[in-house]
Amino acid sequence: MKFTRNLIALSAAALMATSAFAMGAPEYKAAKDQISADYKANKQKCDAMEGNAKDVCQKEAKGAEKVAKAELDAQYKPSDKASYKAREAKADADYEVAKEKCDDLSGNAKDVCVKDAKAAHVSAKENAKMARAAAKPADTSAAKQADVAEARKDASAEKNEANYKAAKERCDAMSGDAKSKCVDDAKRMHGQN
């Protein structure tokens, strides 16, 4: 899948390099067709794989397609909303792949893996929200600062909650006093009362 990531990176770099120029409908359609062709080629590579490796490959291919389409839309019709949707698509794609990779595990290790994936997903989505708040125009500088501060506060609370759940899941592998201390440490570390 390294090839897929490199292809995505090159495609994104090419899109960014041309972002200084207005993209017309023909260029947009050609880029969209290329994304579809890349997806089909990447998905076809997955056919040679088996088991969870095949599932991960398919999630990576589908995620790459969704991210590329969202980034293309953000380039074709630039806006705060389109940029946010591109960041959100990246967060969702990474989450789907991470969850699928957890299927190779079992028991508490799998539970921890899923919680870690969720925590990373929440963090990425909250970072996208903060970036959107920072990019939004405001009537005054003070209003913009207040909006960004509120977004940061909300993001911090959401991230702490998700990270706490992941840390608490790690504690489930323990028992007795060790588990109680682990949970208390997780609460303290992630601001949970």
User: Residue 9 pLDDT > 90, yes or no?
Assistant: no
Mean pLDDT of 161-170: 93
Q: How far apart are the first and last CA of the chain?
A: 42
Copy the structure tokens of residue 95: 């989450």
CB 126 within 8 A of CB 191: no
Query: What pLDDT, in 10s, does the model give residues 75-97?
Result: 999 998 999 999 999 999 999 99
Can you give the pLDDT at residue 10? 44
pTM of the model: 0.78
Domain ranges of the chain: 1-78, 105-193
Which pLDDT band holds residue 141 (cuts at 50, 70, 90)? confident
**What tens digit of pLDDT does each residue of 47-64 get?**
999 999 999 999 999 999
Residue 3 class from Cβ within 10 Å (0-12 exposed, 13-18 middle, 19+ buried)?
exposed
Residue 147's pLDDT is what? Answer: 80
pLDDT-above-90 percentage for the chain: 70
Q: Which of 46, 82, 90, 47 is nearest to 66 (CA)?
A: 90
